[in-house]
Structure 1
Amino acid sequence: MRHGFLGRRGGVSTGIVAGLNVGLGSADDPEAIAENRRRALTAVAPGAALVTVYQVHSADVVTIDDVPAERPRADALVTATPGLALGILTADCAPVLFADVDAGVIGAAHAGWKGAIAGVTDATIAAMEALGADRGRIVAAIGPCIARASYEVDDGFVARFCDQDPANDRFFSPGRPDHAQFDLEAYVAHRLATAGVRRVELLGLDTYADDDRFYSFRRATHRDEPDYGRQISLIAL
C-alpha cells in the first residue's frame, strides 16, 4: 500500500505557512496550495486521484469509489477502489492510516480530541469491514501529532475523558494547577487496540515542538500568528 505522512518541507508556500501547505482553509495562495498538493501526491502515489474531506472534528466516515464533486463533511474516508489516494490534513491532530492488504481496503482518519473520543477510528474500522476488511488483519499507523509534553489541557477536558472511562486517566500527567498534559497519540493507539487492530505503528513525532518540520495550530496560536499551514497524510491502493 502506497502511503506517507508528509510535513512542511518541499513546498512552494511562503511567509508564515512556508513550505508544503495543503490547507484549503488557510489564507495561502490557492495556486501554491494546488502545487503543494500535486507534489505531495506525486511523492506518495503518482498517478492516483486525490480525495480529501471537509473536516469537522466528527466521527463521520465516508466510503469513496470515485472523486466527489465536492468534499464531503466528514473526518475519515475508506475505499476499495484502486487509483484513489485518501488524504487527511492535520496541524496537531492525529492522522491515522489503515490498510487490510488481503482485502484491498484502505482508510484514513483525522483524529483530533473531539473525533477521537467520539470514536472516529472505530467508525473507520467498521466502514472498512463493510467493504470486506477484517479488523484482525487491519494495520494502522498514527502520524505526526501534538505530543503529551506540548499538549496542556484544563481539568474540564480531563473530566470529559474520565467520565467516559475512568481508565482514561492514564493518558494525562500532572501539569500546572488545574491543568494536565494529554497524550493524544497514546489515546488513539488505545482506541485502535481496543477495537481489535493488532498492529499499530506510532511515529512519536511532535508537531508543536518541531517548527522546521511540521505545521502546528497550537504553536501558531501561542505565537499570535494570523494563519497556519496544514500537512497531509496519504494512502492509496
Structure 2
Amino acid sequence: MSSAIALGPGVSAGFTGRYDGGVSAPPFDTLNLGTGVPDDPAAVAENRRIAGARLGFDPERVVWMAQVHGADVAVADRPGVVGRVDAVVTTRTDLVLATLAADCLPILAADPEAGVIGAAHSGRLGTLRGVAAALVKGMADQGADPGRIRVALGPAICGSCYEVPAEMRDQVARTTPEGAGTTAEGTPSVDLRAAVTAQLRAAGVGHVTSDDRCTLETPDLFSHRRGAPTGRLAGFVWRS
C-alpha cells in the first residue's frame, strides 16, 4: 500500500494497492474497497477498516461517492455515501474523502491554506464532461484558490494501453486535445492522465503530481480491462 503522503501542510493523501492485506476472495482479492461489485459486503467492510488502519485514519470518518461517470460535485458534511456524484469537497476537519477506481483516474486535491479538500473520479466520460474542472470550481466555491490547490493523480490505465474506437478518441480530442493518443500497437487511445492534467492547468491549478503506474500493466493494482469482474482501489485525502 502506498503510505500516506503530505498533500500540503496539514493534509494527507494515499492510494491503496490490490494485495495490501485484505480479506476478499478471488476475483476481488484481496483489498477490494468497492461495494459496487458483487463482493461479500462483510469482506469490503473489513477491507475498509484495514485500509484506514494502515493509512492512519478512522474508517468511520470516510465519505464515499456512488460514482456514475458524471461531473456533479457534492459538498460533504458527514461521513457515509454522499450521493450519485463523481466529485466531492469539504471544509470539515474530521472527514476523509474517498474515490474508487480500477482503470479510471482517481484525483485528490487540497488547498491547505483555505482548509478545503476534494476528491474525484475521472474515467473517459467524466473526463469528457470535465469533472476535474468541476472539482476545482467546487473547491473554489468553498473558499479555495485554484492557484494554491495541490493535486495528486493516482494510478490509472495509461495512454499506451487504453485502446478505444477512433470516434471516442476524436470526441476527446475536440475538447481536450492532450488526451487523444495512440497505443503501443498504433491504435487510437485516450490518455486520461494527460487530459486531466491539461484540464487542471486550464482551471488554474499550478501543482499536479502523479502516480504514473498503469493499472492494466501492474498486477498489484485492480484493472477492470485486464480482468473483469474485479475489485476497486481507493484514493483518500484528509486533513491530518
Task: Say whether the fold is shared (TM-score over 0.5).
Answer: yes
Rounded Cα–Cα distance in structure 1 between residues aligned with 2:223 and 2:143: 36
1:188 corresponding residue in structure 2: 196
Q: Relative to 1, partners in 2 of residues 1:62 and 1:229: Cα closer, same or farther, differing over 3 Å?
A: same
Decide whether the 8 Å contact of 1:3 with 1:45 is kept in 2.
no
Q: Relative to 1, partners in 2 of residues 1:175 and 1:43: Cα closer, same or farther, differing over 3 Å?
A: closer
**C-alpha deviation, 1:20, in angstroms:** 0.5
Rounded Cα–Cα distance in structure 2 between residues aligned with 1:163 and 1:88: 27
Q: Out of 89-98 and 36-45, give the one that drifted further.
A: 36-45
2:15 corresponding residue in structure 1: 5
Deviations 1:99-142 (A, max 9, x none): 00111100000000111121111111111111111001001010
TM-score normalised to structure 1 length = 0.90
Give secondary structure in 2 for the equivalent of 1:136: helix
The unaligned stretches of length 5 or more in structure 1 are 222-226
2:181 corresponding residue in structure 1: 172
Matches within 5 A, 1:127-166: 127-164=138-175
1:109 corresponding residue in structure 2: 120
1:100 corresponding residue in structure 2: 111
Work out whether 1:233 is the aligned partner of 2:235.
yes
1:207 to 206, 215, 239: 215
Rounded Cα–Cα distance in structure 2 between residues aligned with 1:85 and 1:170: 30
1:65 corresponding residue in structure 2: 77
Decide whether the 8 Å contact of 1:13 with 1:32 is kept in 2.
yes
Q: Out of 25-34 and 55-64, give the one that drifted further.
A: 25-34
One-letter code aligned to 1:219: R
Decide whether the 8 Å contact of 2:173 with 2:179 is kept in 1.
no
One-letter code aligned to 1:172: G
| Runs of 4+ residues over 4 Å off in structure 1 | 174-177
2:29 corresponding residue in structure 1: 18
**C-alpha deviation, 1:31, in angstroms:** 0.8
Deviations 1:16-66 (A, max 9, x none): 111110110111111110000111122224236011010000001100111
Deviations 1:58-99 (A, max 9, x none): 00110011125x540000110000110001000000000000
**C-alpha deviation, 1:174, in angstroms:** 6.0
**C-alpha deviation, 1:162, in angstroms:** 2.4
**C-alpha deviation, 1:170, in angstroms:** 6.3
Q: Relative to 1, partners in 2 of residues 1:170 and 1:118: Cα closer, same or farther, differing over 3 Å?
A: closer
Rounded Cα–Cα distance in structure 1 between residues aligned with 2:119 and 2:178: 27
Q: Relative to 1, partners in 2 of residues 1:152 and 1:103: Cα closer, same or farther, differing over 3 Å?
A: same
1:219 to 222, 226, 238: 226
Percentage identity across aligned positions?
A: 38
One-letter code aligned to 1:220: G
What is the aligned-residue RMSD (CA, Å)?
1.7
Give secondary structure in 2 for the equivalent of 1:25: coil
Give secondary structure in 2 for the equivalent of 1:124: helix
Rounded Cα–Cα distance in structure 1 between residues aligned with 2:95 and 2:149: 19
TM-score normalised to structure 2 length = 0.89
